[in-house]
Structure 1
């Protein structure tokens, strides 16, 4: 499985017991969707390696307590603590309406109700307090706040994000 075919689910945060159990931090709003997984991909040396789950249970909200097959000691667990966890994109629940996954809109055109199409979404910057669409308009990068109030429609069929942006937001880049 290639990383491009997967989504980031979380990270093995720490050991839980002396029998090789670990706690996985789940980077999701709905951790209960991932409570009964059969397997996950663990990133190890830049490769995704399948790990099969013997038992799992939710632990304090955002954590999943997991016992993997063939991880039976503290030393085995130490070897995977800190590694990222991935699942195939096909396991993502389908979203409808104006809800979307960040990876889903990369490559979509972005349109303002007033200005029309003004670029293509190249990535999403979620490292700040407010996530931003990074939009390319020719050689110019435009940063557009991902605010629900501005979002009019996610048009999956035509691969377009339609927004109603404040006057001047886009123009200040052009």
Structure 2
């Protein structure tokens, strides 16, 4: 089977008409959640994913709200809570120069422009204007690196290597 990628987690239902509340793990929610797109729902207690076709998408507070074709009642979608929504690799679009999917960045080793190893990227936060990469060093606490051109100088996905120029105090 084709490799699958997380796009969101169902955290709750919303209302009584089969809407579900999703915490998105995609930068492309408007494209990913378009009417007619297919998502695959993975749940702990099911061995096979459930194929779902998006009927409607809207944003409410900090959540993406989705309804699926054939699911128009809260009782039908209540069992989806805690499930992970995924898409196959073939649904991933091509990105512009300097853009990367989270799964390409997570796991990369980070070095300074002087060759010092900092650690491995374990998570990407999306708090606002720019992404923040969480780096787990061999010792000590996590290092947070903003993904901005002044700091991130080279991203080599093929070799899982990232070179940064740390600003003063960033690695302290």
Does the alignment pair 1:88 with 2:88?
yes
The ranges of structure 1 where at least 4 consecutive aligned residues each deviate by more than 6 angstroms after the TM superposition are 127-130
User: What is aligned with 1:165?
Assistant: 166
**Deviation sequence 1:53-85 (CA, Å, 0-9, x none):** 2x512324663442344x454422222245332
Contact 2:19 2:67 in 1 (8 A): yes
User: 1:118, CA displacement in angstroms?
Assistant: 0.8
Larger Rg: 1
SS at match of 1:95: coil
Q: How many residues align?
A: 164
Pairing 1:79-118 to 2, within 5 Å after superposition: 79-113=79-113, 115-118=114-117
SS at match of 2:98: coil
SS at match of 1:75: helix
Aligned Cα root-mean-square deviation (Å): 3.5
User: 1:117, CA displacement in angstroms?
Assistant: 4.3
Structure 1 residues without counterparts, runs of 5 or longer: none
Contact 2:14 2:21 in 1 (8 A): no
- In the alignment, the residues of structure 1 paired with residue 124 and residue 23 of structure 2 have an alpha-carbon distance, to the nearest angstrom, of 20
Contact 1:125 1:131 in 2 (8 A): yes
- In the alignment, the residues of structure 2 paired with residue 26 and residue 15 of structure 1 have an alpha-carbon distance, to the nearest angstrom, of 13
Q: TM-score, normalised by structure 1?
A: 0.68
Indicate the larger mover: 139-148 or 32-41.
Answer: 139-148
Task: Summarize the Cα distance change of 1:126–1:74 in structure 2 as closer, same or farther, 3 Å threshold.
Answer: closer
**Deviation sequence 1:11-57 (CA, Å, 0-9, x none):** 26424545xx323436244322121344322232255622332x512
Contact 2:119 2:137 in 1 (8 A): yes
